[in-house]
Structure 1
Amino acid sequence: MNRTQALSVADLDLGSPDGPVLSFRPVPGGPPVVAGGVYALVRLRGRPAATVLGHVPEGADAAEVLAALARPRLVHHGDGAKEGEAPGVAPPRTTVVVATRERADRLARALDSLLGQDHPDHELLVVDNAPTTRETEELVTRKYADRVRYVREDTPGLAVAHNTGVAHARGEVVAFTDDDVVADPHWLTALTAPFAADPRLGCVTGLILPARLRTPAQILLESHGGFAKGFAPRVYDPLRPPADEPLFPFTAGSFGSGANMAFRVRALEAVGGFDPATGTGTPARGGDDLYAFVAVLAAGFRLRYTAEALVWHHHRETWQDLRNQAYGYGAGLTAYLTAVLVRRPSLLPALLARLPRGLVHARRMTAHRVAAQDPGGAGGRGGPAEGAAPGVQAVPADHAHSPDHAHSPGHAHPAGLADQAVPGDHGTPTHPWPRSLSRLERRGMIYGPIGYAKARLRTRGAR
């Protein structure tokens, strides 16, 4: 892994699947694109459509090299109206909540991008969670005075911070993102416009792509799915469970991620908000977003995923960061499942009823993955979800890590670098997922229910 070369990350816009290059640039705030490996988002007239990974020779036109790789995969892509947006209908008034703790430099970068949104009616709210200094407060009140509201929440925990944000929200919809993202200018409009078109919609999630791929840890994470859920729009409806997810709605990792989600406020209120015993900053280590997804679906609301709503995420950079994240994946998964069953015991029969089909589905997928990774049958290099509960994807505390969605329909797989649209593949010789990380995930899964119990006791003590 130490030999992994850094990749440039770029944003390429084409006029049509076989049309001209409209624009080509580095990701927002990123360094110039240089010769070598380049990972690029491909848009069609501004709409995210695919990703490509290619090698740009010295002196070559990087935009044309990447466009040539993308075009064969885009021939069946439509050029219709923006998915999920009702023509002529304005998106609802929205409050954007950014929960943060002692990361003022990153927060400023995120807020700058959020202030550039094209949404016609929104406000920004920063929730300073259990701060030890006044850096965040000073940043918001001085640099962003009158443009960003500041709220302090002294009880640690991401779910608590999110609930505080909801309590102070003035919008009909509340959107959440993290302090380590840069939001596309159309992000908020794309994320919230679907609520105007569908009164049963309770939640919308969006696309998360890497802002940097310069360290081995960042490249390894993106190689195994990252946080992306592909480019195909999808609606999850509890009245019409998806046939390809036997454990629905408990496969929360496939729905989206906490860095890019929005809820109708009345839907969150109907389910009691986020579980305060989950989330980063609590002994549970995560699961707050996943719990909210399942709770909203279980209450009868729909959930929509749209790639139109895009944020660029700054992945953690070091090997130790990735180790912590892997442990958090497992802990967050079982903590959220524990929270669902503790707070909503009526869902237990539904989970038990789905387990047999989930086991069959898990065996089929595992066999396919092993065969693809190791034709000789030796195995030995499982993906990030190795050892995970049947049919349930292992997910991190604040983002869904979903290896099975790395090859969802929208991802182009050009004949460039190893025929991949992400920098590597599950178990490939260049970017194998280390057994040590799989072991950490399994240890986290064992710990998750214990962590949730500790967090629940702590929450009761605080009250």
Structure 2
Amino acid sequence: MSRTARTQGEIRRFLDIGAVQVAELDLRGEEAEAALRPGPGSQPVTHGEVFLLVRRDGLPVGTLLGRVPEGADPTTALAALARQAHVQEHVQEQEQGRGRGRGRGQRQGHDTAEAAADAAGPPPPLFSSVVVATRERAGQLTRALDSLLAQDHPRFEIVVVDNAPVTDETRDLVQRKYGERVRYVREPVPGLATAHNTGLAHALGEVIAFTDDDVVADTRWLTELAAPFTADPELGCATGLILPARLRTPAQVLLESHGGFAKGFTPMTYDPQDPPRDEPLFPFTAGRFGSGANMAFRTEVLRAVGGFDPATGAGTPARGGDDLYGFVRVLAQGHRLRYTPRALVWHHHRETWADLETQAFGYGAGLTAYLTAILVNRPALLPAFLARLPRGLSHARGLTAVRDAGDAGNSGGAGAGSATPGDHGTRTHPWPRRLSRLQRRGMLYGPVGYLRARRAAGGTTGKASSGGRAAGGAR
């Protein structure tokens, strides 16, 4: 069969993927009373397939993919699945002899300190800045800002960076609807990293959080994302959980069935002084740490490393990698990075096959572009990178490998449901070879794209000042 015929077959199978309802269910109290509600942007649950976030007393603990039979009560059916999955997870943890909350790269002493801090109650969060980079998407921006203004964090500001605007729509929206509650900054130079550097230059908070204009933030998102900085003075970066706001199109369902942007429900601390034993490529596997739609930094640390490289990120020839660059720069300076699944945002995934093609190429390009940026800006890391290169090539092949629909436990059949709370992203649909090829092609292009972007930017390396303009851009 020719490659063209295979691609056409993949697209036909892709178009047959059905929509999945998105909902969240909170198991409350000792009797585990269940409260079910639709996800942001979703309709109330009826019968059929459901992607479910399970909460325990308001806190996210896992996801599952379940099916509500026709005529059944959705809350009753999904609560039974959630309780069963929760029990299975608890038994597995006991058998493996591991406690909840242990993360890769965590030191035992640090775990003990965190446990003591949890028992004593959360400390007051630091004053925080939230930066949202945007470009000509006022409708989505409104949804994001409304959720940010509903945060329960006691002390924070919101800065909107309008990146290379063509119209005044974003400025008019912010000034007309939000007034002094949201600060508006215009950045004429395109590029997401540049926009984030502009936000960094204008931020007043001790912690600076970044999210996108296509998310809805959970009410406790900022509080949970900022809290680790108070608990750990050596922490330089924190990332959080990203779940789908809706799964209406085949593209959204396919992406989420292969994990989406989620990094699981186990909190993890990555410590350069105690590298995770199960990640010999650390810290160059930065994609495991989190994503740019849900990340925060200690402001002084991010400024000290020069912010983000403006030759990376969406809106530049590099196509991406700005967030990964930031993670590695902070770790390379000796600071820890914390992944906390309690800090949740709901992301509106791209909706079409063409979007997935663009995204696959961009992810591949961003991966190698960020690695190029790291080695150009921090040549002292070259020996460590070369030592890891053989394993890195193996890892790269794994990233683009074609997944079999059954390799992670197919949960899309006629059964009631599957997946434990910690097992996000069961692969219910095969990953198209076309998308894997595009990602590999992007990986080959990434260094070239980065060097082109760097040349266009005049060879700058991403310095961000503590005040005044530093750059612009958005997805």
Question: TM-score range, shorter-chain basis?
Answer: 0.7 to 0.9
The one-letter amino acid paired with 2:402 is G
CA contact (8 A) 1:158 1:279 kept: yes
* Aligned counterparts, 1:224-373, within 5 A: 224-356=258-390
The one-letter code of the counterpart of 1:459 is A
Q: Higher mean Cα deviation, 341-350 or 79-88? A: 79-88
Q: Encode CA deviations 1:372-426: one digit per residue, 9 max, x unaligned.
A: xxxxxxxx97149xxxxxxxxxxxxxxxxxxx9x99xxx9xx9634768789744
Q: Give the secondary structure class of the aligned counterpart of 1:451.
A: helix
1:246-278: CA deviation from partner (whole Å, max 9, x where unpaired): 100000000000000000011101211100100
CA contact (8 A) 2:260 2:425 kept: no
Give, in whole Å, the separation in 1 of the partners of 2:446 and 2:165. Answer: 25
Distance apart, 1:94 and its partner CA: 0.2
1:158 aligns with 192
TM-score, normalising length: structure 1: 0.85
Tell me which residue corresponds to 2:6: none
* Between structures 1 and 2, the one with greater helix share: 2
Task: Name the counterpart of 1:416.
Answer: 416
- Partner of 1:274: helix, strand, or coil? coil
1:131 matched to which residue of 2? 165
CA distance in 2, matches of 1:31, 1:271: 44
Q: Structure 1: how far apart are the matches of 2:238 and 2:378?
A: 22
* 8 Å contact kept, 1:69–1:415: no
Aligned partner of 2:436 in structure 1 is 438
* 1:72, distance to aligned residue in structure 2 (A): 2.6
Change (3 A) 1:88 1:50: closer
Question: More deviation in 1-10 or 154-163?
Answer: 1-10
| Contiguous gaps of at least 5 residues in structure 2 | 1-13, 94-98, 102-113, 461-470
Counterparts of residues 87-166 of structure 1 (less than 5 Å): 87-166=121-200
Q: Partner amino acid for 1:247?
A: L
User: Partners in 2 of 1:191 and 1:83 — Cα distance?
Assistant: 19
Q: In the alignment, residue 169 of structure 2 is paired with which amino acid?
A: E
**Partner Cα distance (1:255, 1:381) in 2:** 20
Q: 1:155 to 1:303 in 2, by over 3 A?
A: same
* Higher alpha-carbon deviation: 56-65 or 107-116: 56-65
Change in 2 beyond 3 A, CA 1:49/1:419 = closer
Which amino acid in structure 2 is aligned with residue 173 of structure 1? V
1:37 aligns with 2:28: no
Matched AA of 1:453:
L
Is residue 10 of structure 1 aligned with residue 23 of structure 2? yes
Structure 2 distance, partners of 1:156, 1:356, is 35
Contact residue 21 and residue 64 of structure 1 kept, 8 A: no
2:202 to 153, 168, 177: 168
Q: Alignment partner of 1:335: what SS?
A: helix
Q: Does residue 1:51 correspond to 2:49, yes or no?
A: no
- For 1:82 and 1:19, the matched residues in 2 are separated by 26
Pairing 1:178–2:212 present: yes
Give me the whole-angstrom Cα distance separating, in 1, the residues matched to 2:394 and 2:435.
25
Are the aligned partners of 1:191 and 1:309 in contact in 2 as well (CA < 8 Å)?
A: yes
CA distance in 2: counterparts of 1:118 and 1:136, whole angstroms? 25
SS in structure 1 at match of 2:216: strand
Q: Which string of whole-angstrom CA distances, capped at 9 and with x for unpartnered residues, describes residues 83-123 of structure 1? A: 97672511100000000000000000000000000000000
The one-letter code of the counterpart of 1:125 is V
Name 2:457's counterpart in structure 1. Answer: 459
Mean Cα displacement is larger for which, 58-67 or 324-333?
58-67
Displacement of 1:21 in angstroms is 3.0
SS of match in other structure, 1:74: helix
Deviation at 1:355, TM superposition (A): 3.2
Contact kept? 1:44, 1:79, Cα under 8 Å: no
TM-score, with length taken from structure 2: 0.83
Structure 1 gap ranges (5+):
370-379, 385-403
- Post-superposition CA distance 1:177-211 (Å, at most 9, x none): 00000000000000001100100000000000000
CA contact (8 A) 2:138 2:173 kept: yes
Letter in 2 for 1:143: K
- 1:263 to 1:178, Cα distance in 2 relative to 1, 3 A: same
Give, in whole Å, the separation in 1 of the partners of 2:351 and 2:366: 21
Identify if the C-alpha distance between structure 1 residues 461 and 337 changes in structure 2 by more than 3 Å, giving closer, same or farther.
closer
Residue 457 to residue 450, structure 1, CA distance change in 2 (3 Å): same
Matched with 1:393 is: none
Structure-2 residue corresponding to 1:190: 224
Determine if the alignment matches structure 1 residue 66 to structure 2 residue 78.
yes
Asked if the contact 1:246/1:358 (under 8 Å) is kept, the reply is: no
Q: What SS does the corresponding residue of 1:206 show, helix, strand or coil?
A: strand
Compute the displacement of 1:31 (Å). Answer: 1.5
Deviates more, 1:79-88 or 1:44-53: 79-88
Amino acid of the structure 2 residue aligned with 1:336: Y
CA spacing shift, 1:106–1:360, aligned 2, 3 Å: closer
Bigger drift between 344-353 and 90-99 goes to 344-353
- 2:276 maps to a residue whose letter is P
2:77 aligned partner, one-letter code: V
RMSD: 2.9
Residues 82/238 of structure 1: CA separation in 2 closer, same or farther (3 Å cut)? closer
Contact 1:21 1:63 in 2 (8 A): no
Counterpart Cα distance in 1 of 2:116 and 2:301: 22
Aligned to 1:460, what secondary structure does the other structure show?
coil
Is 2:54 the partner of 1:20?
no
Q: CA deviation at 1:444?
A: 0.4
**Paired residue type of 1:48:** P
